[in-house]
Amino acid sequence: MHRFYLPPNIWNAPSPLLDEGESHHVLNVLRFGAGDHVTVFDGEGSEARGDIVAVEGGKVVLRIGPKQESQPLGCALTLAQAIPKGKQMDFIVQKATELGAARIAPLFSARTIVQLDVKDAAKKRDKWREIAIEACKQCGQNRLPEIAVPLSPKAFFEKEEPSEVMLIASLQPDARRIKSVLAEHPNPGSVCVFVGPEGDFTPAELALAKSMGCRPVTLGPIILRAETAALYCLSVLAHELF
């Protein structure tokens, strides 16, 4: 059944409505109408059958059936990703959602080419959230990852609560395999992995991360693009922890 996002604050309304974008897809792409059914999810782990009962002002009115709860994954993964150039961050957000990331924290590192003011950063965050919603709809994920406001690595460490295990992708000789680091921390409830931009993190940023408890990890003998490195890290972590 086709899946649509219904925010949790609307879920218990007397006559919950899909937003304009979701309603447009239901009415003009699928050409559904009253009497048809869809699946709705709230981004917090719940989904339910939604019966289309009416259309009001171009928006679909639903009657929501009993909720089905999906359990969270065994470990909350955070991807702290230095924003790469072009549209690669869009791709990373999409794939990180599909791979079960609980949180995506975009970073402005010293070598980040993309620079955004506050207004543009907010727009980007909204766009990335829409990409994550679409990825959830496609892959059957009922939990929407949190998309954080872009920060510098220093601001991230000052503001954020540390995960139980902190990793940073590194090309330095002291980097270890992800599996060997995780072996020292069995069954962590949360893991954060930092992935650098084109040109990697600066030595000062790497030193800061290590001083804050990040363990350098190797991604193998081949130097990976930023977007490939993000997928590599999340795939290995998902394999080891989920």
* pLDDT tens, position by position, 9-50: 999 888 899 999 999 999 999 999 999 999 999 999 999 999
State in words which class domain 3-69 has. mainly beta
In whole angstroms, give the CA distance from residue 12 to residue 25: 22
Both structure tokens of 1: 């059944």
Measured from the Cβ of residue 206, the count of other Cβ atoms closer than 10 Å reads 21
Percent of the chain with pLDDT over 90: 83
SS3 22: helix
Compute the mean pLDDT over every residue in the chain, rounded to the nearest whole number: 93
**Cα 53 off chain centre by:** 33
* Helix axis angle, 226-241 to 88-98, nearest 10°: 10
**Contact yes or no for 172/216 (Cβ under 8 A):** yes
Confidence of residue 115 (pLDDT cuts 50, 70, 90): confident
Statement: residue 148 has pLDDT above 70: yes
Both structure tokens of 99: 């791979």
76-241: in CATH 3.40.50.300: no
Listed by start position, the domains of the chain span 3-69, 76-241
SS3 208: helix
Q: 158: number of CA atoms within 13 Å, CB side? A: 5
Kindly state the average pLDDT of the residues 157-164: 93
pLDDT recorded at residue 118: 67
In whole angstroms, give the CA distance from residue 236 to residue 228: 12
Secondary structure of 107-138 as H, E, C letters: ECCCCCCCCCCHHHHHHHHHHHHHHHHHHHHH
Statement: residue 129 has pLDDT above 80: yes
Would you say the CATH fold of 76-241 matches that of 3-69? no
Q: Which helix (H) or strand (E) holds 44?
A: none
Nearest alpha carbon to residue 214 among 223, 222, 205, 227: 205
pLDDT recorded at residue 121: 76
pLDDT recorded at residue 59: 94
* pLDDT tens, position by position, 211-233: 999 999 999 999 999 999 999 99
Nearest alpha carbon to residue 217 among 184, 185, 193, 201: 193
Kindly state the average pLDDT of the residues 192-218: 95
Strands (E), 33-178: 37-41, 46-56, 59-64, 68-69, 76-82, 103-107, 146-147, 165-169, 176-177
